[in-house]
Amino acid sequence: MAVMQSSPCKVILQRTGSSLRKITSGDVFYRGPSMAAKKAAQGQKEEEGRYRHTVNLPKTTFGMRANALVREPEIQKLWDEHQVFKRVVDKNDGGNFVLHDGPPYANGVLHIGHALNKILKDIINRYKLLRNYKVHFVPGWDCHGLPIELKGKYHLDCCLCSLRCQMTLSDPNLAATANPRDLYIGHGVLLLPPPFLQSLDQDAKKDLTSLNLRAMAAKFAKETVKAQMSSFQRFGVWADWNNPYLTLDPEYEAAQIEVFGEMALKGYIYRGRKPVHWSPSSRTALAEAELEYQEHHVSRSIYALFKIVTAPSTNDGSLEEFFPDLCLAIWTTTPWTIPANAAVAVNARLEYAVVEAKLLSENVPTSAGNEKRRLGNVLKEPKKPFLIVALDLLPTLETKWGIKLNIKKTLFGSDLENCRYAHPINNTECPVVVGGDYITTESGTGLVHTAPGHGQEDYVTWLKYGPKKLGSLYSPVDDDGKFTEEAGQFKHKYPYDWRTKKPTIFRATEQWFASLEGFREAAMDAIGHVKWIPAQAENRISAMISSRSEWGLPIPVFYHVTSKEPLMNKETIDHVKSIIAEKGSDAWYYMTVKDLLPEKYRSKASEYEKGTDTMDVWFDSGSSWAAVLGKRDSLSFPADLYLEGTDQHRGWFQSSLLTSIATKGIGVESINPVTRGRAPYSSVLTHGFVLDEKRNKMSKFLGNVVNPRDVIEGGQNQKEASGYGADILRLWVSSVDYTDDVTIGPNILRQMSDIYRKLRGTLRYLLSNLHDWDVENAVSYHELPMIDRHALFQLENVVKNMREGYESYQFYKIFQIIQRFVTVDLSNFYFDVAKDRLYVGGTASFTRRSCQTILAAQLLSLTRVIAPILPHLAEDVWQHLPFKYTTEDGSVAKFVFEAKWPALNDKWLEFPAEEIDFWGKVLELRTEVNKVLEVARTEKLIGSSLEAKVYLHTSDVSLASRLLEMCPAGNDADNLHRIFLTSQVEVVSSLGNELVETIQHSGEYLVGEDRVWIGVSRAEGSKCERCWNYSTQVGSFVEHPTLCSRCFNVVVADTQLMPPMAAVTI
Ligand SMILES: [Zn+2]
């Protein structure tokens, strides 16, 4: 806003926004006491050297630099040696907190997504530890199937899961031992293929189990777990590392069989055929989660004509006028599924047309690649057929085919239902059916070739009409489809195998399914009782569960040799379970059918064979609530929290929920009513994926992969990318809004590093100015100067808001709060002002002790509230505390996590509203004063701000009187000139012309709603040798002619305190 200008100099007279948000210009001034201290510290032989020993310099061994590559491992070692995690858990008595770890695959080095996930978990766990919870965190690994990246020539198939899993063996010994094609991997254990096993006699089989082949694969899985574990530990993650859960543990597998058995006995498991995503490149069925949809897939597509043979009798017969040359025109991107055609589907509500085809020109070129060649032979014949196509698509088709289509008749899709046409391959009659709204006029002809064995929508249509009408599911295609010469090409989004990056096809196979029919409602009900973070996740999982009817569940089962009837009942399940609990699942492969069958069936062992199916990979980890939560004493069902990436809505969150509801959900009165019908989790938190700084997916090809180990330890070229340490990585995790995809890259990491350095500097300031602190020195709250009470009010608010951030898992808010607090409230204001009090206020003076009281509170609170995010930094600070911290129970907290979360100080928050308002104005005023000082300095009127005297005038009477009280204040701390870091401040009652004219630099500013006139002149009096403040009293003390009155008093008091030292040093 425009204000009066009264200065000959060009003072900027406008305020914009809140000055609090800006970094004040105060930093550019040479600060008196700090400069004196600095020079003294450098041992310069200045005049003021005489009083050097009376200046309290900051002192600490806490490093300015993190030196994270050395210091973090030292701190982790300290935690290990003292078992700090266990100590704190044992001592805490505020109830249990169980975050149930979702198992990552034991498949190689950790990527940045793993880091995001585990660090988020650790931040939560560590916060709960500070909040006095007993935190039980059991880390898990999914070892089944080992979906190792395919590379080299030694990739091996898993015999447990019908080729689902593959593994690369780079071990030359193993490669030399056998032809890899004869080796099979399953559940992390190398097995030999069943045909080979069957050819061996009993003794040979026993020898085989001891072969180093099996040992090597088991070793591989365990080594991977070990390597990943050590990386997680380097991130600073606390967990029960000595007792992780592995899905290959026999007790885990047994619990899984138990869950499966309960579901089977309740009738939720059945066997049937269903189209699945089949990957010809890895010869395996894929779950939805194993697909990648690639945008630019090129499919060959064809148009085909199916000749109509009968029209329904209900029809008025008008279609018959076009017989026998009436055809349905269809279009497909999967021509190889034509033999499996069972029907043509139409949309009942779409309008269709019977059209007559006419060539545009008789000059049909025949060279390859031109328009006409795509027409195919049918339309080249002299007698053109009548075609049925969707009315809206006529113009498109005319352009594509390069012919004219004349409309003969229009009709609705419903009129076509039950027309029959001749199958193009075998000439059998097939029906026209009404499909769903998936049939549109966006592409094709509006008539959809339906092969239920090859497509999900086709399958649903098939279910609707049933096998009687459409025949049984037919899927004659083996591994690949053949394309016709005339096939065109079509670019669209298409599912690819995530491992081989090759396209998949739909193919019906025999599988085990779990039906949701019996417990869908209970599952939906349980979803409603879970807290979903972010909230929209609830809709996602609800939609998935309400739309699905079953999920694939291949399992170990016996089949009758001749009838192929499966044998599976309580006895067989219990028996297999007990064997697997003892020997692990590989027993299924090396034991005979006779041994695997319970007593009752042994005599019939020769009539049965073992199934080679296994449970779905998702079912594996989905049983973890039973195998881990349900089996370990320290854990409980349901867990307080599950926390994984958004992809787990269709994966682990869902399979865990369904298996839990199916077995505990309904109709079982014996189940504890507390757990009956409940999801295995009370809350679910999901996070997005990690992208690069430009929001691109990370890929080796693009070279934009951020490897967590490189972030911590530095890349291969240490000069280009030196290591930041784990805390920087953790700070990044806290800074992102993980409800969406998050980004990371070199610039972001540099920013994190700057913020970390600022925070570390803040903590170092606190430590170094408390080197002589003892809690006995503390000044009680009611005696504290107002500037200090205001600082405690700010601190307590920060602690309170950070607590809310942790409780709601909104860590990015904590990150913002801490950044602002450190920069604006502390560095730019409180610390800046405090230097005078701390360095030259006098060792045991009230002003210094009251200031230290605040610093101690800030240090203790700040260190603890950042500890969940930056545990290494917090512990490093704690180990450098210059005093002991005693907890409420009277014990000394040796480690930061023993100190618990700071207790609530209601008193500090009760800072009166009018004081909050007033101190807000003081801070604004300080910013404006700094602007005028800066101009005065530029104009060479002053050098240091201590060479200045500030004049203030405001017509607001109450503000003027408050300011007047602070010139000087009853205590030295609230003195306005100390707050401005100038030598004098005078509040003038009126702006007489004389005064205004003598003051070179002035301006009028808006502070709150009050106009304040600010003037600056040179300070009165001479410079004090000790504190560099100007004072008219300098020269009035005979023994200390160069001191101001404040310093005179301090020096006299200090001399009395420590005369011998003082005498010696001078
Ligand atoms: Zn002084």
Return the pLDDT at 923: 95
Six token digits for residue 294: 């690639």
CA 1044 to ligand 1 center in whole angstroms: 4
The type of residue at 354 is V
Between 723 and 34, residue with greater pLDDT: 723
Q: Tokens in use for 458?
A: 């086709």
pLDDT at site 1042:
95
Q: State the distance from the centre of ligand 1 to the C-alpha of 1066, rounded, in angstroms.
A: 18
59 CA to middle of ligand 1, Å?
22
Which pLDDT band, with edges at 50, 70 and 90, does 169 fall under? very low
Q: What does the block give as tokens for 1010?
A: 């009050």
Per-residue pLDDT of 116-133, as tens digits, reads 999 999 999 999 999 999
Mean pLDDT for 145-167 is 31
First to last CA, the chain: 56
Q: Which one-letter DSSP state was computed for residue 350?
A: S
Within 10 Å of residue 90's Cβ, how many Cβ atoms? 10
Does 974 have pLDDT greater than 80? Answer: yes
What pLDDT was estimated at residue 259?
Answer: 86
Cα 1045 to middle of ligand 1, angstroms: 7
Q: How far apart are CA 251 and CA 262, in angstroms?
A: 17
Tell how far the Cα of 977 is from the centroid of ligand 1, in angstroms: 13
| Mean pLDDT to the nearest integer, 290-313 | 74
- Of 385-389, 432-436, 907-911, the one with minimum mean pLDDT is 432-436
Q: What are the pLDDT digits (tens) for 658-672?
A: 888 888 765 455 556
49 C-alpha to ligand 1 centroid (Å): 13
Centroid of ligand 1 to alpha carbon of 57 (angstroms): 16
H-type helices in 505-569, by residue range?
520-528, 537-547
CB-CB contact of 639 with 675 (8 Å) = no
Spatial separation of the C-alpha atoms in residues 419 and 789, rounded to whole Å: 87
Q: How far is the CA of 824 from the centre of ligand 1 (A)?
A: 28
User: 25 pLDDT band (50/70/90 cuts)?
Assistant: very low
Section 241-249 average pLDDT: 88
Q: Which of 41-45, 345-349, 864-868 has the lowest mean pLDDT?
A: 41-45
How far is the centre of ligand 1, averaged over its atoms, from the C-alpha of 47 (Å)?
14
Reduce the DSSP state of residue 951 to 3 states and report it: strand
- Calculate how far, in angstroms, residue 51's C-alpha sits from the geometric centre of ligand 1: 10
> Which residue do the tokens 């694969």 mark?
217
Name the band, by pLDDT with cuts 50, 70 and 90, for residue 722: confident
Q: How far is the CA of 731 from the centre of ligand 1 (A)?
A: 42
Residue type, 834: A
Range in 145-154, 278-287, 518-527, 1024-1033 the model is least confident about: 145-154
The closest alpha carbon to 214, from 575, 583, 556, 499, belongs to 583
Q: Is the pLDDT of residue 350 over 90?
A: no
What is the reported pLDDT for 765? Answer: 97
Q: Looking at the chain, how many residues does it have? A: 1066
**pLDDT recorded at residue 927:** 94
pLDDT at 16 over 70: no
pLDDT of residue 1060: 40
What's the CA-to-centroid distance between 1026 and ligand 1, angstroms? Answer: 5
Torsion sign across C-alpha atoms 261, 264, 268, 272:
positive
The tokens for 55 are 């200046």
- Could you tell me which residue, 468 or 1034, shows the higher pLDDT? 1034
Give the pLDDT of residue 107: 60
- Is pTM beyond 0.85? Reply is no
Look up residue 845 and give its two tokens. Answer: 């003076």
Q: Across residues 1017-1041, what is the average pLDDT?
A: 95
* Residue 777 confidence class, pLDDT cut points 50, 70, 90: very high
Distance 33 CA to ligand 1 centre (A): 9
The answer to whether 778 touches 853, Cβ cutoff 8 Å, is yes
Assess whether pLDDT exceeds 80 at residue 284.
Answer: no
Which range in 412-416, 980-984, 990-994 is most confidently predicted, on average pLDDT? 980-984
Most confident of 220-224, 549-553, 575-579: 575-579
For ligand 1, the distance from its centroid to the CA atom of residue 1047, given in whole angstroms, is 4
pLDDT at 805: 97
Measured CA to CA, the distance from residue 294 to residue 1011 in angstroms comes to: 64
* C-alpha of residue 719 to centroid of ligand 1, in Å: 48
455 sits in the region (left: phi over 0; alpha: psi -120 to 50; else beta) called beta
- Domains recognised in the chain with CATH numbers: 54-91+702-911 (1.10.730.20), 95-167+199-264+518-540+618-667+674-687 (3.40.50.620), 300-361+377-469 (3.90.740.10), 936-1020 (3.30.2320)
Give me ligand 1 centre to Cα 1053, in Å. 14
pLDDT at residue 733 in the model: 97
SS3 723: coil
Decide which of 259 and 728 is more confident: 728
pLDDT tens string 846-863: 999 999 999 999 999 999
| 359-373, 473-487, 547-561, 765-779: least confidently modelled range | 473-487
Pairing of strands 550-552, 690-691: unpaired
User: In this model, does residue 871 exceed pLDDT 60?
Assistant: yes
CA of residue 1030 to ligand 1 center, whole Å: 8
Average pLDDT value for residue range 223-233: 88
Which one has a higher pLDDT value, 193 or 956?
956
- In this structure, of 190-199, 200-209, 612-621, the range with the lowest mean pLDDT score is 190-199
pLDDT, tens digit, 9 for 90 and up, residues 592-636 = 889 889 999 999 999 998 876 555 555 677 888 888 988 888 888
How many other C-beta atoms can be found within 10 angstroms of the C-beta atom of residue 422?
A: 15
* Stretch (H or E) spanning 417: none
Tokens (6 digits) for 31:
């600060």
- pLDDT (average), residues 524-528: 90
Q: Provide the pLDDT confidence category of residue 68 given band limits of 50, 70 and 90.
A: very high
Cα(1046) to centroid(ligand 1), Å: 6
pLDDT of 152: 26
| Ligand 1 centre distance from Cα of residue 18 (Å) | 34
* Whether pLDDT at 403 is above 60: yes
Q: How confident is the model at residue 477 (pLDDT cuts 50, 70, 90)?
A: very low
| 581 has pLDDT over 50 | yes
DSSP alpha helices (H): ranges in 247-341? 250-265
Is the pLDDT at 363 greater than 50, yes or no? no
pLDDT per residue as tens digits for the range 791-847: 999 999 999 999 999 999 999 999 999 999 999 999 999 999 999 999 999 999 999
Taking 70 as the threshold, does the pLDDT of residue 170 lie above it? no
Cα-to-centroid distance, 1034 and ligand 1 (Å): 8
CA of 856 to the centre of ligand 1 (A): 26
Supply the pLDDT for residue 149. 27
Lowest mean pLDDT among 648-657, 681-690, 778-787: 648-657
**1033 C-alpha to ligand 1 centroid (Å):** 10
- Quote the ligand 1 centre to 919 CA distance (angstroms): 26
- The pLDDT of residue 441: 75
Question: What is the Cα–Cα distance from 835 to 101, expressed in whole angstroms?
Answer: 48
Give the pLDDT band (50/70/90) at residue 280. low
The answer to whether residue 768 scores a pLDDT higher than 70 is yes
Of 350-359, 501-510, 799-808, where does the model show the most confidence? 799-808
Q: What tens digit of pLDDT does each residue of 882-925 get?
A: 999 999 889 999 999 999 999 999 999 999 999 999 999 999 99
- Parallel/antiparallel/unpaired status of strands 681-687 and 531-533: parallel
Query: So what's the pLDDT on residue 740?
Result: 92
854 alpha carbon – ligand 1 mean position (Å):
23
> 783 alpha carbon to ligand 1 midpoint, in Å?
24
Q: Is the dihedral of CA 726, 728, 731, 737 positive or negative?
A: negative
If you average pLDDT over every residue of the chain, what do you get? 78
Nearest to 1051 by CA among 1018, 1024, 1019: 1024
Span from the CA of 973 to the centroid of ligand 1 (angstroms)? 14
Measured in angstroms, how far is the CA atom of residue 223 from the centroid of ligand 1? Answer: 67
Q: What's the CA-to-centroid distance between 959 and ligand 1, angstroms?
A: 29
